[in-house]
Structure 1
Amino acid sequence: MEKAKKIKIYLGTLYLLIVFIFLWFFFSKFSLNDLATYDFIKNNRDYIFKVKQNDFFLTIFLFIFFTIIWVLLLGFGSPIFLLGGFIFGKWFGTLIVTFSLTIGATILYLFASYFLKDLIIETFSKKFYSLSEKFKKNEFIFFLIYRFVGGIPFPIANILPVLFNVKLKNYFFGTFFGILPTLFVGTTLGSGIEKIINENEIAPSFFDILTSKHVYYPILGFFIILIIALIVRKINYLNKI
């Protein structure tokens, strides 16, 4: 247990150091005022698309690599699916985002299984012990449901299955297909934002953005998935998640 605590301190320190370096580098190049301007977003959209046009496969590789690092640093999924939809569009973006997040989550799961298992058990076992029996009945199906219904922050959801010793194959495919519906909707939203920027030389009003079919369809999709997830959670007695 003492070893796990030391690892936690080392990882926490490394994480904060990396975040600090990233923020320092980022804000040495850009100011908050720059980030808030429509011209900044539009110009960088043009730059990203130029890079993608010049070397499509390099863009894919860099996106996958960045996503894996992001997940390992306990980042949330929403910035990734918005960015993926923005760069790659709705259909291909969904595939790339889902694959990238699944790879990152699987690597994090392996790392947590080997180095943080005691810490995870100590922290989460009391609250989630009741789920053990459900995993034993049909590990893949229940893990698929677990991924789909959500309700747990993405970084924690990635490492929590360590409690239940989920098989690697079930973890990978359960994650891929479980998060796919939500990521499709989120990636569609990112793609819609890109279309709005491409179609407007000047910044549209918030109302115009919200009422655009590129945006309100994905938002409606989120609500539909949320309702389905709540029903599935109720049926499978996952209200404690």
Structure 2
Amino acid sequence: MDFKSQNFKIYLGSAYLFIFLTGAYFLLINFEIGSLTSYDLIKENRDLILEYKENNIFIMTAIFFIIIIFLNIMMCPMFIPTVVIGFVFGKWLGTLILVFGNTIGGAILYLLAKTFFSSIIEKKFAPKISKFINFFQKNELLYFMIFRFIGGGGTPYPIQNVLPVIFNMSVKNYIIATCLGIVPATFVIASLGSGIEDIIKQNTELSFVSALLSPEIYFPIIGFAVILIIAFIFKKYFFKQ
């Protein structure tokens, strides 16, 4: 079988789209999107979730690890899953699950994109990041790690995962740069989820004011602001023509 043939790419893309739409369909018919993010629902089920996690820590860790890999392959946004895992596992274990899950899932997606969709990605994105390609070609490991660290300069995370296709980055450097580069932002967002869990544990109503006054919340927000400032500095002074 010719894995790079146009017909195979069409079949693979169709299968990928079918799986994505099927998953979205079952999610929508079984859950109300509003209820999934309802604070009252989360508060009512907190003890049940955490008790099950404590009694089945290895199984839960494996399940969420696989989910993170799958979400990356499906090119899903990762902010809410990161908050959820921080809520369930805490900022330390949650960060470990997320960093390794995102790294493996991103690497699998990168390999799929590089093998089957390289021409599409180059046509779509190469003109938009042409001024950055020279940086990546000089030292792909360093600059892609910086790119990850600053959140891709505002590039959506799923798109970040496939952009290295354009400069044919080695898988080894991709894995190292991703694993190191995503740690700060991942830790900050997971800490936000952990902070929400702490507020619920204290039986405090989650409001904008209570969130800002809680160190478990405002420290991650400050950390996120610092990352944004660093991203702005890098983008303005180091990634300009």
- TM range, normalised to the smaller chain? 0.7 to 0.9
Q: Partners in 2 of 1:81 and 1:31 — Cα distance?
A: 20
Q: What do residues 15-42 of structure 1 show as CA deviations (whole Å, max 9, x unaligned)?
A: 5544443344334444456446443112
Q: CA shift at 1:52, angstroms?
A: 1.1
Tell me the SS of whatever aligns to 1:89.
helix
For residues 127-170 of structure 1, give each alpha carbon's deviation from its aligned partner in whole angstroms, at most 9, with x where no partner exists.
22232221222121111111112221111110010001111111
Q: Which moved more, 1:14-23 or 1:102-111?
A: 14-23
Quote the offset at 1:216 in angstroms: 1.2
Structure 2 match to 1:231: 233
Name which of structure 1's ranges 75-84 and 23-32 shifts more when overlaid on structure 2.
Answer: 23-32
Describe the superposition over 1:63-95 as per-residue Cα deviations: whole angstroms up to 9, x where unpaired: 011011111111112122211211111112111
Displacement of 1:235 in angstroms is 2.7
Q: Which runs of 5+ in 2 are unaligned?
A: none
Quick one: structure 1 residues 64 and 32, their matched pair in 2 at CA, closer, same or farther if it must change by over 3 Å? closer
> Kindly tell me: are residues 16 and 213 of structure 1, through their superposed partners in 2, closer, same or farther at Cα, counting changes over 3 Å?
same
C-alpha distance in structure 2 between counterparts of 1:8 and 1:147, whole Å: 30
Q: Does the 8 Å CA contact 1:148/1:178 hold for their aligned counterparts?
A: yes
Q: Which residue of 1 aligns with 2:124?
A: 123
Q: Which runs of 5+ in 1 are unaligned?
A: none
Paired position in structure 1 for 2:55 = 54
Matched position secondary structure for 2:182:
helix
Distance 2:156 2:53 in 1: 31
CA contact (8 A) 2:132 2:239 kept: no
Contact 2:87 2:193 in 1 (8 A): yes
Q: Is 1:153 the counterpart of 2:177 in the alignment?
A: no
Percent identity between matched residues is: 40
Distance 1:14 1:174 in 2: 30
Match of 1:220 among 198, 219, 222: 222
Shift of 1:108: 0.3
- In 2, Cα distance between equivalents of 1:77 and 1:30: 19
Answer yes or no: is the 8 Å Cα contact 1:38–1:203 preserved in 2. no
TM-score in terms of structure 2 length: 0.88
The 1:37–1:189 alpha-carbon spacing in structure 2 relative to 1, beyond 3 Å, is closer
Match of 1:199 in 2: 202
